[in-house]
Each structure stands twice: as C-alpha cells, then as structure tokens.
Structure 1
Amino acid sequence: MYSLLEKCGPLLSLIDEAKLADLCSRLIQFRTPNPPGNEAEAASFLGHLLSAAGFQVEIFPHSPDRASLVARLRSTGELPALLFSGHLDVGSQTDEEWKYDPFGGQILDGKVWGRGASDMKGGVASIVHAATILAAAHYSLKGDLILALTAGEENGFIGAQDIVDRYDFGPVQALFIAEPSDNDVVIAEKGLLWLEITAHGKAIHMAQMDQGRNAIMMMLPVLNNLLEMEFPFIEHPLLGKFVYSINSIHAGMDVNTLPDRCVVQVDLRTVPGQNHAAIVNEIQDLIYRTAGEVDLPGFQVTSKVLLDAPPLATPPDNPIIKRFFEIVTVVTGKLPQPQAVAAGTDAVAFVPALKVPFLMCGPGNPILVHHVDENVEIEKLVQSTKIYLLGAVEFLS
C-alpha cells in the first residue's frame, strides 16, 4: 500500500488546500436547507465545474428548484466503475444564534464554517476536488469514475432514487459515500421504516358527544397494543438492536369538540434480517385485532408507509473494505475500526439497485451534524481528498 502512496505522489501534490477550502465555502453559500432543498443552483454550479474538467455531466431536475447530477470520467472500460456520492441538501434552518453566518462559508481558524459544512458539503468538496485532479492529470483509468451528487437525501432520498430510476450506470464495483465520519469508515446503517397510523372519528360538540366518534379514544388501544408488541430480530454486531419510537401525535382542535382525526407517526429502525413488509403486515394485523377487542362503534383505523429504506451492511472482511481500510491507515496514520450508523443514507437507493458493497468515509464531524456553528476542519478535507484519490487509483487502475 505504501507503493500506492509513492505511485500517487504526483497526484497528491496537486491537492490545493486553499482551493479545496474555497470550494467547500462556495457550496455552503448555496442555501439548500431541506425543506425546501433548492439544490438546482448548486447542481448547476458543480455540473459546469465538472464538465469543464472533462466529465460527462447529466443533470436530473426533480422540480423547478431541485436537481441532482451525475458526472462520469470515461476510462478504457476494462474494469467496473467506481461510484462516489454526496448530497447537496443540508439540515433544516434554525433560529438559533450562530457565531458566524450559517450560509457565509467563513474560512477561519483552520475550519470552514456554515450549515452543511460537515453534513456534507465538505465531503462533496473533497470528492469534486479529487475527481478534478484525476481528470486534469489525464490519469489512465481502467474503470469509469462516477460522481452522483444528489438532492433530497435529508428527507426521502428523492435524488438518489430518481438517478437510479433514470441513469444507466453499467457495471459498478463499489459505492463510496462522503458522509461525515471524521474520516473513519462506516460499513452499516439501520433501516428506516416510517409508518403513519390514523384513527378516523367524527367531530361534534361535547353537548352531542353520543352522535360523534372520538378519534383519540380509537387510537389509544392501538397504541397500547403496539407498545406491547414484540418484533423478532437478531442483534447485529455493529448496528445493535432493533428500536422504534412513537414520535408524533396530532389530534383535536378545541377542548369542547370531539376530534375527528388522530394521526400518529412511528419511526422503526431495523437491522439486517428483518423484513419490512412483514413488520407492516404485523402492525396491520394488530389494528384488525384491536378492532375486535374494543367496544367503540364506528372504529376505523388505517395505516400507511411514509418511508421504507432497508438496513444495509457490508461485511468487514469484504476485499474492497479491507483495501479501503489500508488506504485510510496510510493517510491518517491509524487503522480504522468498522463503524455503523442508526440513520439512513442515499445507499438505500444505490445499493439495492446496483448490488454493490458500500462504505461511508467523509471529513465531516458527526457530532456537529445539524448543530449550531457546524464546521469542518480543513485538515480533514485534505485527508479525505487524499483518501478518495488513492481509492480511485487503487480500484480503477
């Protein structure tokens, strides 16, 4: 692996710290909190930059102000492509006081500051900087280098899913995502299953309550049964246990009126081996069973899936993972330990469609994600750019 480092010495020398930090700053200045996203301008900016560098660029509009892009650097085609991915949207805007303008992209104290600096415009900047260095050097690649820069990752993975539905990737050997990991390596993520359960009542003034149906009273026995329900799972060595939580309840308008609707949203975080369709069916059966247990005339409760993203895990002994660990060790000076996250990423769209191993490695600090005074260290940006350059050369040449 040190021979790879020596081989790539001329490429690594082309990393421009100031240019990299400036690109990260420029990306932060595109206001892309999701909702609403508004990623189209950032996608256009990066599309022009990558096109000028020699990439074949395709923009995927999702709505007037939302877009993703795919950029491809062609090779001899002897090897499958390598896919790097990052998202252009950031966490929702808050009213909390920031030390610096959250969309100013200030470069101070060895850091770039702003909303999305860690999650994940820093990662996108490192991907793009590494890719343009490879292109400018006319490095001989045997497999295509593909960048997928997406809209809507923070809420539903719309960009990644649209790309999967419309773009012909051809053979791909692996997916590397620049999610914030402090340049550690993440190889597993929990599944997301979001359900909405709705009780349908009939609103009426309390003076005529016998002519109405209280949606909250319908929902209570459903929730009681749900809380007692056991979902089978096998604890995962990295992801741990299956968990779920009732996180949103909306019902009623006035103290003197029976509510006609009670809407509950449930977040279930699954682990490999669990079947989402089976869980949905079990909860639907629970609702049917509850209907037979209660004495509530006009009982009507329905459920629907809001988000269905499967759990994903790449085995730590996968050859690509092992080689990537070696690259990270060479760059950072420490051997990474396999990590996992309880959240979902664009991998939920790409991995099932492309049937590839995946990993996440990015310069952002996970602790700062969606926090006030979010920032990314410039040293980490440089590190991750080195990792991506070495990874591209290792797997594509």
Structure 2
Amino acid sequence: MDFRQHTEETTRLLQDLLRFDTTNPPGNETPCIDFIARTLARDGFESTVIESAPGRGNLVTRLKGDGSLPPILIFGHVDVVPAEANRWQRPPFSGDLHDGVLWGRGAVDMKNMVAMEMMTMALLKRAGGTLRRDVIFMANADEEVGGVFGAKFMVEQHPDLIRAEYGITEGGAAGLELDGKSFFVCSTGEKGMARFTVRGHGKPGHASQPHMDNPILPLAIALQKLIQKPLPLHVTRTVRAQIDALSAEVGGELGRMLQALLDPATHDDAMAELPLSDAFKRRLNATLRNTATPTILQAGTKINVIPGEAAAQVDCRVLPGTTPESIAAEVRAVVGDAVEIEFGRFTAGQEFDPASPLLDVIRQSVREHVPGGIVIPGLIAGGTDARHTSKIGIKTYGFVPTRYEGPTMVGLAHNHDERISVNNLMFGTQVLHDVVAKFAR
C-alpha cells in the first residue's frame, strides 16, 4: 500500500484531534469522542459511545474477523495534561502545521497514536478481505488523572466490549540511534505508583521571632536528600532483556558500558560515558530504580506566621516486584526519621513476556520499513492504561512507532511546544497498520 496518498487525510485528522481542548482536569472528552465516532462512521463503523460521567466520553468500535483467533485491542486516550500557552511558540490547541511539523498538546501524548489507530481501522476496512481476529479500537478519557472515568471504567463496567488477547497502546520511546544502528522500543512492562506525603512538624509562632523548630527545616532537608540521593538500583527482567539486546547488537566497548549500567558499583560512570541524549539517559535511569520526586509544597498561609506543619507531595514510581513495605523502607532510609511519611494507594508495576507472537510481528514490520531496524523490549517509567486492561487478561504492549529525529524532537510529552513531524506521523501509521494487519490475518 502506498501511504503517501493518505498523508493529507492523516495530517488533517490529527490536526482536528489537537484542536479539541481536552485538558484534564476537567477532561471534557465527549466532543472529541463524538468527532471520532462521526469520522469512523464515514467508513461504515458503528461505534459505541459511553459516558462514565457528564462530558467524560469513551468510544469502542470493532472490525469483525472470522473468530478463529482472539481479538486484538488498539487503544489510546484523548485527554491531555494542561499547557501553559504563554510558554509555547504556537497555541497549544491550534493544530498548526508549520514546516512539516504538527504542533499541539497531545501531538506526542497521545492523539498522534489515536490518529494512527483510526487510520489503521479505516484502511483495514477499505481493503476488505478476511481477518482471523476481531480488531477492536477504543478511544478513552481520563488517562492523565488515573483512568477512573476512562479505561478503568471500561474494564470494570464494560469488559466484554474490549476483551482481547493482546493490546497495543502508548509506550516505548522514540527511535534510538546507537552505534549507527536504529533501535525501536516496545514496552513490555511499566512501573507502578506509590505516591506519598512527607510532613515536617514544628512549633508555630510569630515570624518576627524565628526559632529552629520551624517545620520547613526538616522537610527541606528530607526533600534535599530525596532529590540528591537516588533510590537503590534494581534490575527487572524487562530492563535486563533490553540492555542485553542493546549490548549484543553494538558489542565492543559500548556494549561493555551498557552492561556496566546494571552493576551499582559501575553504574554512575557508565551512565556518564554513554553517548546517549540526556533525555534518553533520564528515561533509562528511571527504569533501573524506584523514583521519588517532590512536586507540590504546602506550608503556612500567612507570611508573618511560622506554621506548625509543612508538607510535600511526592510522585513515587515503583518497579515491578516492589512492595508497599519495600518502597517505604527505601524512602525512610534516605530521608531519615525527622519527618513523617504517609503513603497513599499503592499500584504495583507489571511486566509481560517479551517473547510473544505480537512482538515477533512488530519486529518483522519494523525491519520491512527500516532495513536493519531492531526492536527491543523496554519498561515505561511512568504509567499507562495498560495497568487497567491487564486486569482482564489483555497482554498490553506499548508501541508508538516513531523514528529518531534529533535531540530537539525528544522528550516533548507533557512539555512546552509538543509537536510531531508529518513524516513521523506517517511512518507510525504505516508501521502500526502493518503490525495489526499481519497479526489479525
């Protein structure tokens, strides 16, 4: 199939998606979901649209196969994180196309993937022929705030609409160029969550009469330790498989440096020496340890009053295999005993087998589009809706096929000036279509 004829259609589709302000909170995804339903209807798809709450729309449609193999689910969320418009070069909900690049909140996370999935469904339908698997598409709300009104709702309230053997959603990383070779990451696992609050306690009083029993002091010391001293190194099955695959391909001194990342005694020096972008190093480092990042501070309410308590909320992401008890012990060992630590809800990390028929098809399709292209497993440092779909047995992989286009096009999710090139959008659409077509036939 010559995908060049579909460039304008795919580009316009993503532009339209980007122009819906689905900032979460509040989300207000239903207008975007209704647009998706209307667009799919042009190719004869009948979609089921379900609101989990007013304005919180979710959509499911299905391309029927003959049922000889279990379904595959391709899915993505349409909500986005807030954007500081005054910090952007172009309005974040404009969908501007400039010099072959599409700008907008969601261009990378993850309306780009939703557009790729919609085009995949449309092109499979137009091509006709018999599929052995049903191909299910879901566009959902609320991933950015936990999925209660999105994938979690669909899994708990409407599981039969989306039940499948395998799933593909966001994840992986932009293509990686290393030692002259092109690598593509398919996420076969992701970290869980163990957010917590750190509190310093002290003696309130008038700010004109300072004293050392100010609760901000023990809190500040604890946060400094959290930021400056990483939590211990842990090597999961997924990351070991990733490093082994990378080092086997590149070999030599570079391969040795990669393996050295897995040893606490040599990790820091190896990370400093690796010829990788800072953005990729940050992602890689986050897959080798639990992380605890302070993000919200709360203390006094009047400038002339020393508060009795100061608190910080900490975003904590945990590796597969971590327990509530083990992460609590790691954090306490770093911050000491001068502060109180209160953990919220714990969500475990997860891993799927990196050896699977779906991953084999992904590897084959990538090689067809990028001769010599290598697909490696990876662990998502954040979280996705896979944590919900896995609860009904869907083996969910994170794979947004995009090529490396230089350091300025890396790390744009949740960032100012989020954008994607039309070339990468079309590359991803072709690869995703081929993966789904091969796997479903």
C-alpha root-mean-square deviation of aligned residues, in Å? 3.6
Query: 1:90 and 1:336, CA in 2 relative to 1: closer, same or farther beyond 3 A?
Result: farther
Letter in 1 for 2:132: K
TM-score (norm 1): 0.80
Tell me which residue corresponds to 1:278. 325
The one of 400, 420, 424 aligned to 1:380 = 424
For the pair 1:172 / 2:164, whether they are aligned, the reply is yes
Deviation at 1:92, TM superposition (A): 1.3
Task: Report the CA distance shift for 1:148/1:278 in structure 2 as closer, same or farther (over 3 A).
Answer: farther
2:288: which partner in 1?
A: 240
Q: Please show how residues 1-397 of structure 1 align to structure 2 within 5 Å.
A: 9=1, 16-158=6-148, 159-169=150-160, 172-179=164-171, 181-182=173-174, 184-187=184-187, 188-198=189-199, 216=216, 233-234=234-235, 236-237=239-240, 238=242, 239-275=287-323, 277-279=324-326, 282=329, 303-305=342-344, 308-338=346-376, 339-363=378-402, 366-397=410-441
The alpha-carbon distance between structure 1 residues 148 and 377, as it changes in their structure 2 partners (threshold 3 A), is same
Structure 1 range deviating more: 260-269 or 178-187: 178-187
How many Å separate the matches in 2 of 1:59 and 1:376?
28
Question: Across the two proteins, how many residue pairs are aligned to each other?
Answer: 374
Q: Deviations over 1:245-270 (max 9, x none)?
A: 33333111235434244322122222
- CA apart distance, 1:61: 1.8
Change over 3 Å in CA distance of 1:220–1:379 after alignment to 2 = closer
Aligned partners of 2:94, 2:198: CA distance in 1, in Å? 41
Instruction: Report the Cα distance in structure 2 between the residues aligned to 1:367 and 1:148, rounded to whole angstroms.
Output: 26
Residues 87, 120 of structure 1: 8 Å contact kept: yes
Separation in 1, partners of 2:354, 2:53: 39
Correspondence for 1:6: none
Distance 1:301 1:97 in 2: 36
Supply the distance in 2 between the matched residues of 1:232 and 1:118 (Cα, whole angstroms).
29
Deviation at 1:114, TM superposition (A): 1.9
Contact 1:105 1:112 (8 Å CA) reproduced: yes
User: Quick check: 2:107–2:419 contact (8 Å CA) kept in 1?
Assistant: yes
Q: Tell me which moved more, 37-46 or 50-59.
A: 50-59
C-alpha separation between the residues in 2 aligned to 1:64 and 1:370? 26
Higher mean displacement: 354-363 or 146-155: 354-363
CA distance in 1 between counterparts of 2:214 and 2:158 reads 49
Identity within the alignment, %: 25
Q: CA–CA distance in 2 between the matches of 1:108 and 1:223?
A: 42
In structure 2, runs of 5+ residues without a counterpart are 176-183, 243-286, 404-408
Shift of 1:165: 1.0
Deviation at 1:357, TM superposition (A): 4.3
Structure 1: runs of 5+ lacking an equivalent: 1-8, 295-299
Q: Does the 8 Å CA contact 2:120/2:429 hold for their aligned counterparts? A: yes
Stretch of structure 1 that moved more, 38-47 or 327-336? 327-336
**1:84-140 CA distances to partner (integer Å, 9 max, x unpaired)?**
111112231114343333222122322222222122212111110110111233332
Alpha-carbon distance in 2 for matches of 1:285, 1:368: 33
SS in 2 for 1:27: helix
Shift of 1:313: 3.1
In structure 2, how many angstroms separate the alpha carbons of the residues matched to 1:359 and 1:225? 33
Displacement of 1:147: 1.3
One-letter amino acid of the structure 2 residue matched with residue 379 of structure 1: N
Deviates more, 1:260-269 or 1:220-229: 220-229
Letter in structure 2 aligned against 1:167: H
